[in-house]
Amino acid sequence: MKRYLILEDGHIFAGEGFGAPTITTGEIVFNTGMSGYQETITDQSYNGQIIAFTYPLIGNAGVNRDDYESINPTTKGVVVREVARVTGNWRAQMSLDEFLKRKGIPGISGIDTRALTKIIRSQGTMKASIVDAADDHAFDQLKALVLPKNQVQQVSTSQPYPAPANGRNVVVIDYGLKHSILRELGERQCNITVMPYTTTAQEILDLHPDGVMLSNGPGDPKDVSETLEMIQGIQGKIPLFGICLGHQLFALANGADTFKMKFGHRGFNHPVREIATGRIDFTSQNHGYAVDPESVNHDNLLITHEEINDHTVEGLRHRLYPAFSVQFHPDAAPGPHDAAHLFDEFMEMMDAFNDRQTQGGNHAQAYRYS
């Protein structure tokens, strides 16, 4: 089935359709991962986006029940050089083609993804469509598209739900969370309550949690500014850990600014330096926005990590409160597990805070970082 990928700047790529037999429109981005396509496609941070995979063969391991990051992905489309027609992994339950058909996501193969990636790197992310005909009508429809600003609202849970265990009580604010975050907390026996992004500080405090996790999610962090008051209301009272979008929101809540990157970081090989120690971790990343380092108030926030290639801010820690955040994904699904230790640091932070609370210590003084 002949299909076309058309870009906002006028480029046309001809290919073969697979997956759902529908047309689609969204923001096109590229992912440099060599594996982990199931986790990538089901990551809600790709809400509204068409994913172009730079690795030439996608789909050879099929799709299985263990690697979902969400059950109902909201990715708009998938672009590949070649889609595997045969799956050879013992865990596979269906092919990528069948999976995309079931989830209503169209795909297109036979695309020169190297040339496409060069365009995105040069021009920046842009609107794109997968269509049956690359005619004037298709381009008119593409130009008329207004990218949504309510992306977190589209993917966040509408009702709280638990993931019970017998350990530390952790509230996870769902901005579009990956299941791998819950897996990492579950492996540490955390008793989890997942809450909507509209949750207030008082609703969290009423649960008396040991810690709060701000999850990843899609879109511009400034589009969910209503959550900043909640973050300001709990920091200093409960240990806090933010990941990806949660990191950006933590920064905004403490007076920093964010900006849209030209083409973002999307892949599993991004080197990140911990500034204090010089330690290098290779990390999994998926974001199109970043924290402006010039906007960081150094009286309140300490920049803890930076991306080696472009020096973007990859980690923050509050100087007064038990609160920190990272731009990358320490849950590493997919990707390297170099940074999984940050979940252990969160556990230690919660324990230390509870010990000081029991002893009646001065929290602000105890957590001051120079």
| 248 assigned ligand-binding residue | yes
Q: Which long-range contacts (CB under 8 A, 24 or more apart) does 93-98 make?
A: 93/62, 93/63, 93/64, 93/65, 94/62, 94/63, 95/59, 95/62, 95/63, 96/18, 96/19, 96/37, 96/38, 96/58, 96/59, 96/62, 96/63, 97/18, 97/19, 97/59, 98/63
| 288 assigned ligand-binding residue | yes
Cβ density class 5-15: b for 16+ within 10 Å, e for less: bbbbeeeebeb
| 289 assigned ligand-binding residue | yes
| 59 assigned ligand-binding residue | no
| 315 assigned ligand-binding residue | no
| 217 assigned ligand-binding residue | yes
Residues known to be catalytic: 244, 329, 331
Phi, psi of 103 (to 5 degrees): -95, 0
| 240 assigned ligand-binding residue | no
Name the β-bridge partners of 79: 52, 108
Q: DSSP E strands: which ranges in the chain?
A: 2-7, 12-19, 24-31, 49-53, 57-58, 77-79, 82-83, 106-109, 126-131, 161-163, 169-174, 191-196, 211-214, 240-243, 258-274, 280-291, 301-307, 313-318, 323-326
C-alpha dist (Å) from residue 210 to 23, 191, 213, 281, 323 = 46, 10, 10, 28, 12
Residue 354 carries which side chain, given as an amino acid letter? N
Q: Which residues are annotated as a binding site?
A: 45, 217, 219, 245, 248, 286, 288-289
Q: Which residues are annotated as a binding site for L-glutamine?
A: 45, 217, 219, 245, 248, 286, 288-289
